[in-house]
Structures are given as C-alpha cells and as structure tokens.
Amino acid sequence: MLLYIGKRLFFMIPLLLGITIICFGVMHLAPGSPTDMQTQMNPRASVEAQERLRAMYDLDKPLYQQYWIWLKKVAVFDLGTSFSSDRRPVAEKIWERIPITVLLNVLSLVLILMVAIPIGVLSAVHQNSLFDRLTSVFVFVGFAVPTFWLALLLMIFFGIDLGWLPISGLRSLNYEYMPPWTAFWDLVKHLILPVFLSAFGGLAGFSRFMRSNMLEVIRQDYITTARAKGLSERAVIYKHALRNALLPVITILGLSVPGFIGGSVIFETIFAIPGMGQLFYMAVMARDYPVVMGILYIGAILTLFGNLIADISYALADPRIRVSS
C-alpha cells in the first residue's frame, strides 16, 4: 500500500505540471491584459506607462519565461503577488477566503449524501413504483434546470417576495451586535439558499447513481442466498446490499471535487459570498494572473489528492480489492 501511494504521488508531479501549463497558456489566450485593465480608464496613462507596468509584471517576456518565473516561485511555496491595487500576496488572499468555500462545499456534500442515498435505495427497492417514478422526474428536472436560473428564481421568491431568507453575503449588517444564538441563526439563514442550490444538481446525480448500484447489487447471488437463509428484508437491504452499493460512491466523491470547486464560482458570485470562487471570478475579470493561477493550482492539488484518497479508501473498504504495486 505504501509503495502504491508513493508511486501515485510521484506520477502526480508531471500531471500537475501539465495542468498548470495548460491553464497558464489558456489564461494568456484571453483578450485583454492586466495593464489594459489598469490604464484604459485613465486618460493620462501613456504608452510608456503601460510598458513600465508590463515590465514590472514580467509581461514583456516570452510566455515560456513567464511560466518558468511562476514555477520557480511555486517551487518555494510562493504564489506571487496580486496585480490588483492592494498588491497583497496571493496566498494571503486565498487562505482568508478558502474556509468559506470549504464550508459551503462540505455542507452541500453532507446534504447530498443524507438525501440522495435514501432516495436511491428506496427507488431501487421499490422499482417502478410511484415513488420511483416521482424521483425519476426529480432527477430529470435536476439535470435540466440551470442552477443559476433557479438561484435567481428562489432569490426573488424567498428573499424579495416573502422576505424569509437573505439573498447576499454571509452576515447581516448588525451581525456584531447580535447575541450568539441570533448570530448563529443569521448565518444559517444566509447559508440555506447557497447550500441547497449547490447541492441541487448533485442530489439528482447521486440518487440516480445510488439507485443503479442498488439494482445491480440486489440481483447478486449472495443477496438471494441471504433471503433464502431467512433473513429479514431490512437486514438483506441495509446490512448486505447497502454496504456493497456504497463502495462506488467513494470513487464518485473523489471525482466530484472539481465540480464543487467550479460550482463555487457561480454560487459565490450570485450570492455575493466572499469565498474563493468569488475571488477567482474577480481575478479573471481583472486579468489578475497570479491570483487566477494560484486558485487553479490549489484546485488541481485538491482534485488530485481527492482522487488519491478515493482510491485508497475504496481499497481499504473492499477487502476483495488488492492494490497492485
């Protein structure tokens, strides 16, 4: 197992390099540059001033040299300095926002697992029933409805028409003066819509995936044997079938990391949540290359380690699997 982990970590290095090269190249293909964003609204900005800015940001060098400069900084755990007016270190800007993004994604993942697994199991056990057909409709709606459009509808209905839930931010203006319980409830109300919408698409996919796994498992010979031995249907389903049907979910969770990170950009921008996704969107619009590359780099690392942890967890959970070295 240790040899397998070591090999996976070793092969992650060239994969990570390839990801950063592609991201670096695609980012520079976008129209506009940081100097344009900083000087186009200033009528006094001369061509010489723009060239000085390009030299200060190393943008006057060839692309491969720019990438090599960035890579050397990353090698010593330096993500560079932001091109924005505050000139803050990229790592500092990311680390102050990443806890919010992690909180939203963890809550969404917990909600998905708590709802999708029971729905998938019941749909498989009661195949072709009314419940199964209703959940199938829910799945198709979940796949078809654009989440950003649904977010706007729910914001209008629950936030503006009914006034039940806030529609932006994580705290109210008077948050500092609230009692602890009131402040906690204020945070919960701010999280309801973003967490639900972040989990909405995943609920549809995970429930359908869980249903197909359960249908495959309950047709196996050992399930027939368990029923022939006189075990109750509850024991057959929840003790034998469910445990084996949950194994592929581990892999899906590892592969879902990029989706959660990408979804954060949409939801944090719509709900004005100061997380890493909103920072990424603002950096892209401002052509803040160091911040964009820093977030993409961290996202790539999280994705690769998520896949590694999923593979290891799958091997540990299923004794039939032997990890070859």
Q: What is the pLDDT of residues 1-10, one digit of tens each?
A: 677 777 778 8
pLDDT of residue 234: 83
Look-up of token digits 């993004």: 101
Burial code (b: 16+ CB inside 10 Å, e: under 16) for 234-256 equals: eebbeebbbebbbbbbbeebbeb
**CB of 193 within 8 A of CB of 165?**
yes
Average pLDDT over residues 89-96: 89
Instruction: Please check the confidence at residue 17 and state whether its pLDDT lies above 60.
Output: yes
pLDDT tens track for 252-271: 776 676 667 777 888 888 88
Q: Rounded CA gap, 266 and 259, in Å?
A: 11
Q: Which of 244, 236, 212 is nearest to 124 (CA)?
A: 212
Please report where in the chains the tokens 């001033």 appear, as a residue: 49
pLDDT at 60: 79
Question: CA nearest 288: which of 9, 15, 59, 48?
Answer: 59
298's CB contacts (< 8 A; 6+ apart) are: 94, 98, 276
pLDDT for 9 equals 81
78/70 Cα distance (integer angstroms): 9
Which pLDDT score, from 0 to 100, does residue 325 have?
A: 47
SS3 (DSSP) at 128: coil
Contact 59, 66 (CB under 8 A): yes
| Range 197-206 burial, b when 16+ CB lie within 10 A, else e | bbbbbbbbbb
What's the average model confidence in pLDDT over 116-135? 86
Mean pLDDT value across residues 194-223: 84
